[in-house]
Amino acid sequence: MASEQIGSSGSKPGENMLWGGRFTGGLDPLMVSYNESIYYDRAFHTQDIAGSIAWARANHKGGILSAAEFSAIESGLKKVEKEWAAGTFKIIPGVDEDIHTANERRLGEIIGKEIGGKLHTGRSRNEQVATDMRMWLRDELRKIDTYLSDFLKVIAARAEKEVDYVMPGYTHLQRAQPIRWSHWMLSYGMAFASDLERLREVISRVNLSPLGCGALAGNPFGIDRQMMAEELGFEGLLWNSMAAVSSRDFVVEALQWGATLMGHMSRWAEDLIIYSTQEFAYVKLADAYSTGSSLMPQKKNPDSLELLRGKSGRAFGQMAGFMMTVKGLASTYNKDLQESVEPMLDGIKTYADSIQIATGVLSTLATNPAKMEAALDPFMLATDLADYLVRKGVPFRDTHHISGQCVAFSEKSGTPMNQMKISDFKGIDARFEKDVLACFNYEKSVEMRSAAGGTSKKCVLEQISVLKKMLA
């Protein structure tokens, strides 16, 4: 996005540029296209028009514009916005270097350059671009808030409906202990809920107004910044003019947030990719979120999940790339900051699309509780066996060793642990009694994990309740 210091060429050097009076020579045509940002920052046309109307209103209040001049500017800008909305706005290459230049040029054509030329009084594009970006990002992040809330509602509803399904829980991708399928869903639900909390904090920091800070030193006409901020829906002001126009921390933070979200999304997708394989077959994706093979007719590929996993790298790359751009800049505005726009635009689209795809995947996912149950293994109850002896007063370090001996006996003899005889257990440790066989019950095992946050039914329902409250 263009700064105050550098520009583009037209048929007459500098004639149509906001900064043109200083320059008498034309630019290299490649520099023209290299410098311009209109083909992506036009996304901010609504915010730029709203900001300009608020600016004109404040200048009218301050005596810079007459009532008639303000009325003409406001009416003209609304006509410009209608052209953008209808898709009829004509961009002039080499002249409309950015959305600000384009809107002001078109305003002058509609109402005349004499009045149109007064719009920019006291204003810098440095503050204008920062204002547009903050407004656009705020609006888009609020949409993402809605998408993420909807996704979490699906997680909560599905966890509640399928709370009775028991499956293997894994560490190191090795079977560990029995858990509820709902507990697995909520493990990611809580991560995404934390993302939602962080998102709302980001929005509050994005939604602060830089308008009225000038190029770097402030406004000389006593413009009412608070009035403009309220009109544009900002929650407050940025209090240092130099920082206000040059800071892109709000973009960095949004990209950091997005990278964290997509990291969670990637891990969630990876688990479901594994669970959807024929080797696991715990879940089956709907056709709407799968693709086939051009060669193998039997294939049903989880492309939706693989793209979610893949786009996490894209999100992280955008964040890291832009952080490297801003890390060594001198104070206030530098043209490097134009590089904040495309990562922000791409990042927001990636996050929004990904959350909606994930919601669709989970809403239509078929589960196979029989396959989950069939994958349970008596070895997964080895900890329950150790806990059994703990309840009889044996130190856990001893019971862990004893349970390990039972596992070794089972492997060596080829006898599943739940089919070992009482004499087998007593041969390992005399403190085993007949009731030891009651340990080999998967439902009992999950119900024993009854401390808050555990995988018992009561705990899982409690977690669903907590998640719903976080959404509220």
Domains defined for the chain, CATH in brackets: 20-121 (1.10.275.10), 126-374 (1.20.200.10), 378-440 (1.10.40.30)
- Please give the radius of gyration of the chain, using alpha carbons only, rounded to the nearest integer: 31
Q: Is 66 a catalytic residue?
A: no
Q: Can you give the pLDDT at residue 298?
A: 72
Pick the residue with more confidence: 26 or 147? Answer: 147
378 contacts: CB under 8 Å, gap ≥ 6? 410, 416, 417, 418, 419, 440
**213-235: per-residue pLDDT in tens?**
999 999 999 999 999 999 999 99
**82-122: per-residue pLDDT in tens?**
999 999 999 999 899 999 999 999 999 999 999 999 999 99
DSSP 291: B
What's the whole-number mean pLDDT along residues 57-79? 98
- DSSP one-letter string for 39-64: HHHGGGHHHHHHHHHHHHHHHHHTTS
Contact 305, 285 (CB under 8 A): yes
The mean pLDDT value of the chain amounts to 93
Contact 235, 121 (CB under 8 A): no
Contact 269, 309 (CB under 8 A): yes
pLDDT surpassing 90 at residue 15:
no
Dihedral angle of Cα 52, 56, 58, 59, to the nearest 10 degrees = 130
Q: Can you give the pLDDT at residue 232?
A: 98
Q: What percent of the chain has pLDDT over 70?
A: 93
The residue to which tokens 């045509």 are assigned:
29
**419-462: per-residue pLDDT in tens?**
999 999 999 999 999 999 999 999 999 999 999 999 999 999 99
Residue from 172, 294, 331, 423 carrying the catalytic annotation: 172
CA angle 462, 463, 469 (to 5 degrees): 95
Contact 151, 354 (CB under 8 A): no
HSE-CB of 213 using CA atoms within 13 angstroms? 26
**327-342: per-residue pLDDT in tens?**
999 999 999 999 999 9
Q: How confident is the model at residue 20 (pLDDT cuts 50, 70, 90)?
A: low
Q: What percent of the chain has pLDDT over 90?
A: 90
Q: Which of 20-24, 144-148, 240-244 has the lowest mean pLDDT?
A: 20-24
Joined tokens for residue 193: 């809920």
How many other CB atoms are there within 10 angstroms of residue 103's CB atom? 28
Distance between CA 360 and CA 185 in Å, rounded? 15
Contact 125, 2 (CB under 8 A): yes
Q: Is 363 a catalytic residue?
A: no
Contact 59, 121 (CB under 8 A): yes
**245-260: per-residue pLDDT in tens?**
999 999 999 999 999 9
Distance between CA 412 and CA 406 in Å, rounded? 10
What's the whole-number mean pLDDT along residues 77-83? 98
What's the whole-number mean pLDDT along residues 162-181? 97
**298-335: per-residue pLDDT in tens?**
778 999 999 999 999 999 999 999 999 999 999 999 99
Contact 332, 246 (CB under 8 A): yes
pLDDT surpassing 90 at residue 164:
yes
pLDDT surpassing 80 at residue 13:
no
Residue from 66, 75, 204, 293 carrying the catalytic annotation: 293
What's the whole-number mean pLDDT along residues 47-68? 98
CA distances from 12 to 24, 31, 120, 198, 290 (A): 9, 16, 21, 50, 56
**260-282: per-residue pLDDT in tens?**
999 999 999 999 999 999 999 99
Single-letter amino acid, residue 123: R
